[in-house]
Structure 1
Amino acid sequence: MAPFSFPGAKTAKMSLDIYSQLVLAIYIFTFLIGLPSNLLAFYTFLVKVCQTPTPIDILLLNLTISDIFLLIFLPFKMVEAASDSKWTLPAFLCPLTNFFYYSSIYTSSLFLMAVSIERYLRVAFPIKYKLWRRPVYAVTASVIFWMVSCAHCSIVYIVQYQVQSPNGTAHAINSSNCYEEFSPSQLQILLPVRLELFLFPFCLPFTVTVFCYVNFVRIFVALPKIPARKKQRAVGLAVVTLFTFVVCFAPYNLSHVVGFVQNQSPTWRVYVLLPSTLNASFDPVIFYFSSTAVQRAFSDCLASLRCKLRAIVTWCSLSCLTRCRKGDSEVEAASRDEADGLTT
């Protein structure tokens, strides 16, 4: 007799497969687009910082490093998605991967805020900004941002290894699921920390960024001697940055508030976490609008790719043409041989 199965089980399995395929597609897209562009931006900013360090280049370099950390550990998330959201890798990689995964979200938020402050001060108080502009301030802010982000996201390790169950025994997360299923005692620690993540490393940077970019665009566009192209770049920088906050970071951080109110981890949290991954592929657009050096690097890279593609296409065309001519010669030779045979 065939075993009895519930009708909803097959639907749930199908939805899980679709979700895993969607997650894998987003991860692959982010990795293929984000890694080469961020590595190119990293090299460009590193050269600039080594030659003539400026606050904006130091901040953007750290933002690039944050994205690269996410992209380095993203293949582990790909393996998880390909395994139907089951963690099949060594257990120690689970908290390590999620630590860098979540740290990238809040590190990016803080550095995007710092970039917006730098842009605003540069146009609102140009004289004072030139007097007080020091690379050491950007380095200090970068160290603080990394410490704040890493300290908050260390909750991944705390929940994974150190939370005790009500009966006093250690409770570990199910090894087949990586940071998705939590006990009530773990939620007592995790939910308040998530709410604090929403209030401080997200709401504060988002509010400051909105204020700075709205005023930055208003002042910059009103300047009479600024070329129209630079004004368009300023508007593009503000739009892309705010788009990153609203689309990539806001849905996931709002799930923290919902989870705190409902006293449970929302089931839809895994879906709103996906757009935050795309941040690593959106940040290079911010680099492009923020730095002329990055624009030149991207332009040179695209020009080099076009030349290589043109050379490959030319080589393929010549190769096909040579083969066709060789084939025609062989056909003509065979025809002549056949004609000579008939004549004989």
Structure 2
Amino acid sequence: MQTNGSSEHCSDPNITFKNSLYATTYTVIFIPGLLANSAALWVLCRFISKKNKAVIFMINLATADLAHVLSLPLRIYYYINHMWPFGRFLCLLCFYLKYLNMYASICFLTCISIQRYFFLFHPFKAKNWKRRYDVAISAAVWLFVGVACLPFPIMRSLTNNSSSCFADLGVKKINSKTASVMMVTSAELFGFVGPLIIIVYCTWKTKVSLQKYRMPLANTSEKQRALRMVAMCAAVFFLCFTPYHINFFFYMMVKENVITHCAIRWSTLYSQPFCLSLASLDCCLDPILYFFTTSEFQDQLSRHSSAIIRSRLMSKESASSIKE
């Protein structure tokens, strides 16, 4: 392998490990992601009647995560058995759900950060905020993300091997390099850079406000909860999505032969499986956001747990009295 100059004589890295990496990652994520997001949806929808403080956005975030988690068994099957017997449509659907989850998660994390920031700094306007506004925003997010993610399966070319899927699908070539650069740049700006700036700004302003002003204890506690929430959104965003989007730009430029430098090509292709695996961790990290940053979630979960414990104790006492 040559590490400088053109890719004319540059061999691609050996990334046969990707099947094992993906199978392991998705297996580790599946059970915790399924249980945590199912429980989060159940608690958020069933027990929190006051749908404020970004709860609607968290419900949508959990729904996006659960949709991706439910497709993981098919991905695990493919990467273990190295074959796809379920047809082209299901292959592209599961492929589409991966990116739908990623960008829906990014949008709803951004919405949560904006709303917590807005409610904190404009409390009087927050009182007049209607639940239907969040529902309308969520519907707009799903529509926008759903359409914006369509190019991901469309850009994947079907290989002659009908048993291949996911990472083994080819990438269709775009005739114009300018069009390739514009498309990828637009995706990076709207899907990553914009949300990144918003989340960092909301986190920074909330932190500065908490440190700068002395407030009554109740207001301080509210700001601390808001800071924990936006900070957790930022942490999930940076950990899961930043490595992928930094690498994604170079990956698409390499695939379209816009970037031909051998060292960049090699490192980009080698890093892609790790970045893609890291992006799937948000399915397990988002439920942490609900529990540790939402007081209502903690209260309702603890009340339900207490009710279960009490009912079991009463059952045992009844059984003991019958035996006596």
Q: TM-score range by the shorter chain?
A: 0.7 to 0.9
2:118–2:126 contact (8 Å) kept in structure 1: yes
Counterpart of 2:229? Answer: 237
Matching of residues 39-188 of structure 1 within 5 Å: 39-48=38-47, 51-54=49-52, 56-84=54-82, 86-131=83-128, 133-160=129-156, 174-180=161-167, 181-182=169-170, 185=173
1:191–1:256 contact (8 Å) kept in structure 2: no
Equivalent AA in structure 2 for residue 95 of structure 1: L
1:53–1:135 contact (8 Å) kept in structure 2: yes
Counterpart of 1:271? Answer: 274
Give aligned-pair identity as a percent: 22
* Relative contact order, higher structure (CA 8 A, sep 6+): 2
The verdict on how the C-alpha distance between 1:56 and 1:199 changes in structure 2, with shifts beyond 3 A counting, is: same
The verdict on how the C-alpha distance between 1:117 and 1:104 changes in structure 2, with shifts beyond 3 A counting, is: same
The verdict on how the C-alpha distance between 1:177 and 1:77 changes in structure 2, with shifts beyond 3 A counting, is: same
The verdict on how the C-alpha distance between 1:274 and 1:306 changes in structure 2, with shifts beyond 3 A counting, is: farther
Offset at 1:241?
1.5
Please say if 1:219 is aligned against 2:206. Answer: no
Offset at 1:290?
3.4
The verdict on how the C-alpha distance between 1:96 and 1:78 changes in structure 2, with shifts beyond 3 A counting, is: same
Match of 1:201 among 191, 194, 218: 191
Give the paired residue count. 284
The verdict on how the C-alpha distance between 1:42 and 1:241 changes in structure 2, with shifts beyond 3 A counting, is: same
Offset at 1:55?
6.0
> Higher Cα Rg: structure 1 or 2?
1
1:160–1:173 contact (8 Å) kept in structure 2: no
The verdict on how the C-alpha distance between 1:55 and 1:233 changes in structure 2, with shifts beyond 3 A counting, is: closer
2:100–2:145 contact (8 Å) kept in structure 1: yes
Q: What is the CA–CA distance in structure 2 between the aligned matches of 1:287 and 1:173, rounded to whole Å?
A: 44
Unmatched tracts of structure 2, length 5 or more: 1-12, 258-264, 311-324
Q: What is the CA–CA distance in structure 1 between the aligned matches of 2:135 and 2:144, rounded to whole Å?
A: 14
Counterpart of 1:3? Answer: none
Normalising to structure 2: TM-score of the pair?
Answer: 0.75
The verdict on how the C-alpha distance between 1:141 and 1:213 changes in structure 2, with shifts beyond 3 A counting, is: same
Offset at 1:67?
0.7
Farther off after superposition, 118-127 or 183-192: 183-192
Please say if 1:293 is aligned against 2:288. Answer: no
Unmatched tracts of structure 1, length 5 or more: 1-10, 162-170, 308-344
| Deviation by residue 1:127-157 (Cα, 9 ceiling, x = unmatched) | 22223x1112111110111011111111134
2:106–2:195 contact (8 Å) kept in structure 1: yes
Offset at 1:81?
2.0
Give the alignment's Cα RMSD to 1 decimal. 3.2
1:63–1:111 contact (8 Å) kept in structure 2: yes
1:210–1:242 contact (8 Å) kept in structure 2: yes
The verdict on how the C-alpha distance between 1:108 and 1:190 changes in structure 2, with shifts beyond 3 A counting, is: farther
